[in-house]
Chains A and B, each alone.
Chain A
């Protein structure tokens, strides 16, 4: 009947690998730090980097997101350093509470900066109730796809993006006190197993470089603006909650579930409900007030998107 609330954010594995001289070669230390300032929906971020080359990668990853107007809500720093354990050379990623990640390989840096930014959102963007979810919008209708890692929500968001839906996030549903959802359009982090799907969808990955991210293995990124500036959604009303679960080879199917079942499951997929307490629960109830709720088994991406477009009220295909 009851369930303890646990954070769904992935936890980075502790790195205690031995130093391999020469492993760090692509990025070199810059003489002065670069400051990368971006506006990702409602969140302004700043990345301070002493690693030459990282700023260029971010410029291409988030082309069209530059922010010159305001101070950052969250900040992350990247620099060269030493492992606490082996004293080997590392890239150190730090946030507001100090060192967050220490990675050895250059291809691990950018994914861990992205990861650190997510943690900083969890820590600092308390005005929103945060759910682990993809969020898309079409015709002003907000659809939230809450799911644990590995449920296929990023691929699903990419599929809908390629069909003219607007992207708010593939990681966070940010819900305000009026139950509205807000955009945080981070780049979509695509696992190696979905590279072919992105090609099929016509969504180019940003850089020829392939990265490494913990348990996900090889990953690449898609800038959601690749479909045009209209690809990013704005604050909208939550109308549908769809819990996706990918099953290889499955015929896509969708069924309605109660809002009680939905609220119960959303509570377990919240990053900060414990912190927000009763206020957070009230925010979730406000958001669910006008929502229809569903459970989706996804398979082939085209068939899955077609099913969603034909099943969800208010969405035109």
Chain B
């Protein structure tokens, strides 16, 4: 993943043709096109659920700090990193960069 590709102003949006299954505090996403299953821990699940195409990474990070005791800059790094990984795995698209 190129860490510079995703910015704090990026607007990540979930793919709608994958299935999302909440299982305890984790989630599994099944991508029928690739026949691939993805496992999200609680943080990644939170980020995925907030990737609605209207919230930028910075906004999602701010939401995270309300749930986890994490500084905003650290949360921002986590969101950018997770979004980049999910984009690489074909689970998200980025509307604006």
Residue in A closest to B86 when the chains form the complex, CB atoms: A1
Of the listed residues A2, A4, A268, the one surrounded by the most CB atoms of chain B closer than 10 A to its CB is: A2
For A140, what are the chain B residues with a Cβ–Cβ distance below 8 Å? none
Tell me whether A267 and B30 are in contact in the complex, defined as CB-CB below 8 angstroms, given that A2-B36, A3-B36, A281-B21 are known contacts: yes
Chain A residue at minimal CB-CB distance from B41: A260
> Quick check: A1 and B19 within 8 Å, CB to CB?
no
- What are the residues of chain B within 8 A of A3 when measuring CB–CB? 36-38
Q: Is the CB–CB distance between B85 and A1 below 8 Å?
A: yes
Q: How far is the CA of A189 from the CA of B60 in the complex (A)?
A: 53
CA distance A229 to B44 in the complex (A): 49
A3-B34 Cα distance, complex, nearest whole Å? 10
Q: Is A285 part of the contact surface with B, judged by Cβ < 8 Å?
A: yes
Contact B32 A277 (CB under 8 A): yes
A281, B19: Cβ atoms closer than 8 Å: yes
| Chain A interface bracket (under 10, 10 to 19, 20 to 34, 35 or more) | 20 to 34
- Asked whether, in the complex, the Cβ of A1 is within 8 Å of the Cβ of B38, the reply is yes
Classify the secondary structure of B's interface with A.
Answer: strand
Contact flags A62-85 to B (C-beta < 8 A → 1, else 0) = 000000000000000000000000
Asked if A281 and B26 make an inter-chain contact with CB atoms under 8 angstroms apart, the answer reads no
Are A260 and B38 also in contact (CB < 8 A) when A277-B32, A282-B19 are? no
Q: Is the CB of A264 within 8 A of B37?
A: yes
B interface footprint on A242-261 (CB within 8 Å = 1, 0 otherwise): 00000000000000001111
Whether the pair A261, B19 counts as a contact (CB closer than 8 A) is no
Chain A residues within 8 Å of B94, by CB: none
Assess whether B39 is interfacial by the CB under 8 Å rule. yes
C-alpha spacing A285/B31, complex, angstroms:
15
Number of residues from B at the complex interface, CB < 8 A: 22
Cα of A263 to Cα of B28 in the assembled complex, Å: 8
A264: B residues at CB distance < 8 A: 28, 37-39
B33 smallest CB distance to A (angstroms): 9
B4 within 8 A of A: no
User: Taking the complex as formed, is B89 at the interface, i.e. its CB lies under 8 A from any CB of chain A?
Assistant: yes
Closest to B39 in A: A264
Contacts of B40 in A (CB 8 A): 1, 260
Residues of B10-45 contacting chain A, CB below 8 A: 19, 21, 23-24, 26-28, 30-32, 34-41, 44
Pick from B36, B85, B89: contact of A5, CB under 8 Å? B36
Q: Considering only CB atoms, which chain B residue lies closest to A280 in the complex?
A: B30
- CB-CB under 8 A from A278, the residues of chain B are 19, 30, 32
Instruction: Let me know if A267 and B37 touch, CB within 8 A.
Output: yes
**In the bound complex, do residue A285 and residue B37 qualify as a contact, i.e. CB atoms below 8 Å apart?**
no
Are A261 and B39 in contact (CB-based, < 8 A)? Answer: yes
Q: Are B30 and A281 in contact (CB under 8 A)?
A: yes
A-B contact pairs, 10 of them (CB 8 A): A1-B39, A1-B89, A3-B36, A4-B34, A259-B23, A260-B41, A264-B28, A281-B19, A285-B23, A285-B28
Given contacts A3-B36, A260-B24, 9 further A-B contacts (CB under 8 A): A1-B39, A1-B85, A1-B86, A3-B37, A5-B36, A263-B39, A273-B37, A281-B21, A282-B21
Binding site for B on A (CB under 8 A): 1-5, 258-261, 263-264, 267-268, 273-274, 277-278, 281-282, 285, 288
